[in-house]
């Protein structure tokens, strides 16, 4: 089964794979930053006292959560150059797709986090004479933040895995880099098993890290 497993091909393609991983990580980080920014705005809209604002944010979230990420990628892959009016390169189109898509999920996580703070806490803050802003700043958000952190980080790992879907538009991320080598040298087994192992180790390390952070929050 593994008698003609070719380790050589894995070793020689390491620089090429690292380049791919670079794109994967860049896309992940930029999508997290952009997604968090847009997601925060959406969450504030969602909880805003204006009905039309929260309705808009709610529809946005439901819309993107109903769609497969691949379709979203296709949409923006064609839509972004169209709106900008000139070709912008696949990376930017896909980045926009990820930011728009992730923002919907981040918005929900933040909304749930803020709403998980018990009403009694809000009342206690008000009873002390805190203003709405002060109450948010000193009472609600610090507690909400603790509840959200592990979930936001877990979502980041999911996003890291999801960036592999750029395969459908051929961006040269980690998986596509491996796919290129695999098909060029007809070494599919070696390359795909390597990809799986690398992703597995990175995600597992991330997961264990999250668990540590969670424990820290729980005890302190």
Partner 1 sequence: MNYNWDWSVLFCFVEDPVSSCTQPFFYWIVSGFGWTISVAAAAWVIAFSLGSVIGVLRTVENPYLRGFATVYVTIFRNIPLLVQMFLWFFVFPELLPDEAGKWVKRGMPLPEFWTAVVCLGTYTASRVGEQVRAGIEAITQGQRYAAMAMGLRPVQVYRYILLPVSYRIIIPPLTSDFLGVFKNSSLALTIGVLELTAQTRQIEEYTFQGFEAFTAATLLYIVVTAIVMAVMRVVEGRVVIPGMISLGAK
**What is the contact surface with partner 1 in residues (CB under 8 A)?**
1, 63, 65-71, 74-75, 78-79, 82-83, 112, 151, 161-162, 164-165, 167-168, 175, 179, 182, 188-189, 192-193, 195-196, 199-200, 203-204, 207
Min separation Cβ 184 and partner 1, Å: 14
Min separation Cβ 169 and partner 1, Å: 10
Decide whether 48 or 71 has the Cβ nearer to partner 1.
Answer: 71
Min separation Cβ 70 and partner 1, Å: 4
Decide whether 128 or 208 has the Cβ nearer to partner 1.
Answer: 208
Decide whether 139 or 191 has the Cβ nearer to partner 1.
Answer: 191
Min separation Cβ 133 and partner 1, Å: 28
Min separation Cβ 161 and partner 1, Å: 4
Decide whether 91 or 167 has the Cβ nearer to partner 1.
Answer: 167
Decide whether 23 or 135 has the Cβ nearer to partner 1.
Answer: 23
**Rounded to 5 degrees, what angle do the CA atoms 202, 208, 213 make?**
125
Query: How far apart are the C-alpha atoms of 35 and 98, rounded to whole Å?
Result: 8
């Amino acid at each position: 089964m593994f008698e003609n497993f070719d380790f050589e091909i894995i070793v020689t393609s390491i620089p090429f794979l690292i380049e791919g991983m670079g794109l994967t990580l860049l896309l992940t980080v930029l999508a997290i930053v952009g997604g968090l920014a847009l997601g925060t705005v959406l969450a504030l809209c969602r909880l805003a006292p204006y009905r039309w604002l929260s309705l808009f944010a709610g529809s946005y979230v439901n819309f993107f959560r109903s769609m497969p990420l691949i379709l979203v990628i296709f949409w923006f892959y064609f839509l972004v150059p169209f709106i900008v009016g000139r070709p912008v390169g696949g990376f930017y189109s896909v980045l926009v797709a990820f930011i728009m898509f992730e923002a919907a999920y981040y918005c929900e996580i933040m909304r749930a986090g803020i709403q998980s703070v018990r009403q009694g806490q809000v009342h206690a803050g008000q009873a002390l004479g805190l203003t709405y802003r002060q109450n948010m700043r000193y009472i609600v958000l610090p507690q909400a933040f603790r509840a959200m952190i592990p979930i936001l980080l877990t979502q980041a790992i999911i996003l890291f895995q999801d960036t592999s879907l750029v395969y459908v538009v051929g961006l040269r991320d980690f998986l596509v880099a491996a796919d290129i080598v695999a098909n060029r040298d007809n070494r599919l087994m070696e390359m795909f098993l390597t990809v799986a192992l690398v992703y597995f180790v990175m995600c597992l390390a991330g997961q264990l890290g999250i668990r540590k952070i969670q424990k820290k929050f729980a005890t302190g």
